[in-house]
Amino acid sequence: MKVSELGEFGLIDLLAEMAGGEKDEQLLIGIGDDAAAWQGDESIQLATVDSFIQDVHFPSGIAPWKELGWKALAANLSDIAAMGGLPRYALVSLALPDNTEVDDVTALYTGMLELGREYGVAIIGGDISRAPIVAITITILGSSQKKQILTRSAAKPGELVAVTGELGAAAAGLEMLKLKLQFDPQATACFDRAFLHPYPRIAEGQLLAEQGVKTAIDISDGLIADLSQICKASQVGARIEVDRVPIEPMAKVQFGEKSIELALSGGEDYELLFAAGTEVIDKVKRAAPCPITVIGEIVAGKGVTVVDRQGNPSNVVKRGWEHFITR
Ligand SMILES: [Mg+2]
């Protein structure tokens, strides 16, 4: 069987089963969440790794090198945010064609270092190898000082589903850059920032854990795709009301109806998607520095259903991003 027949998530399941045989008393979360977690001497330790591959994750030439560095690190830090943790160290592995300009590589590092400084993350190692295309692979080590971490597998029927911030602007940015669309300066800046310069929700992730949230994921592949991961890991279903999804206003203005699809399936917004009871959500709303919007609920069953205001199934949805599967 080819990997394209099995798909990214099928392949992850297969490899997780192979690697998951050994019992390890200190291991809290193994393969299959946003990061691995294990009990350290004084706190829970977290680790995650992610790759950014040219022509797979980013079309060649779409982003300046500095922004590429920022974004690649931000995507990784977002996985630590989704665990409610604090990122500390990064290991950066670069694959580069041998005609790559040194200035481009230092620009890439400048982007990573700028973001790292903002979040207290130091680059402490890595490696470099020659390759036909650019690939940036980053490993993040972090920790959670709290007893509580956020996982994908703790959602229960009856809980509400909520999201930080607003969605759709990153996918709008990708459309803008890919299709060379022209917008006014304000919209251009908004989409550029969302796609090239995302801010991982580190403080918000910690706040969720502090306030008693147990289930979260970051929105990297798309709202529906990432919520499906929570459903699968928690063995529940979810019902989303499309009208409640907070679409970034500028995306709504510039993309009209299409902005719904950008918000539901576009991905790369790096907002946090979480589930919790009403009381906990109310506490989070009061304490959070960003908008928190309830968009639906966890239900018994399987998979994500998207409904309109009347409760009828909505047909606006493409699922989201999965490697190897072409839709
Ligand atoms: Mg993630």
- Say which CATH architecture domain 33-144 belongs to: 2-Layer Sandwich (3.30)
How much distance in Å is there from the Cα of 8 to the middle of ligand 1? 14
pLDDT for the residue numbered 165: 98
Longest C-alpha distance within the chain, in Å? 57
The CA 134 to ligand 1 mean position distance, Å, reads: 22
pLDDT tens per residue across all 327 residues of the chain: 888 888 888 888 888 888 776 678 888 988 888 899 999 888 999 999 999 999 888 888 888 999 999 999 999 999 999 999 999 999 999 999 999 999 999 999 999 999 999 999 999 988 999 999 999 999 999 999 877 899 999 999 999 999 999 999 999 999 999 999 999 999 999 999 999 999 999 999 999 999 999 999 999 999 999 999 999 999 999 999 999 999 999 999 999 999 999 999 999 999 999 999 999 999 999 999 999 999 999 999 999 999 988 888 886 655 555 655 544
Ligand 1 midpoint to CA 310 (Å): 32
CA atoms of 54 and 280, how far apart (whole Å)? 41
pLDDT at 254: 96
Alpha carbons 213 and 135: distance in angstroms, whole number: 35
What's the pLDDT score for residue 97?
Answer: 94
Closest C-alpha among 35, 153, 13 to residue 85: 35
Å from CA of 283 to ligand 1 middle:
24
- Whole-angstrom distance, CA of residue 215 vs CA of residue 151: 5
* 31 CA from centroid of ligand 1 (Å): 12
Centre of ligand 1 to C-alpha 185, Å, is: 31
CA dist list (Å): 60 to 53, 55, 57, 135, 244: 9, 6, 9, 11, 35
Q: Quote the ligand 1 centre to 33 CA distance (angstroms).
A: 7
- pLDDT value of residue 58: 83
Which residue(s) pair with 275 in the sheet?
Answer: 161, 215
Distance 220 CA to ligand 1 centre (A): 6
Residue 101 Cα to ligand 1 middle (Å) = 31
Can 33-144 and 160-307 be said to share one CATH topology? no
Ligand 1 centroid to Cα of residue 133, in Å, is 24
Q: What is the pLDDT of residue 163?
A: 98
Return the structure tokens found at 220. 């990297």
Span from the CA of 316 to the centroid of ligand 1 (angstroms): 24
Per residue, the 3-state secondary structure of 213-260, as one string, reads CCEEEECCCCHHHHHHHHHHHHCCEEEEEHHHCCECHHHHHHHCCHHH
Ligand 1 geometric centre to CA of 219 (Å)? 7
pLDDT at 321: 58
Domain residue ranges of the chain, discontinuous segments joined by +: 33-144, 160-307
* Region 160-307: CATH code: 3.90.650.10
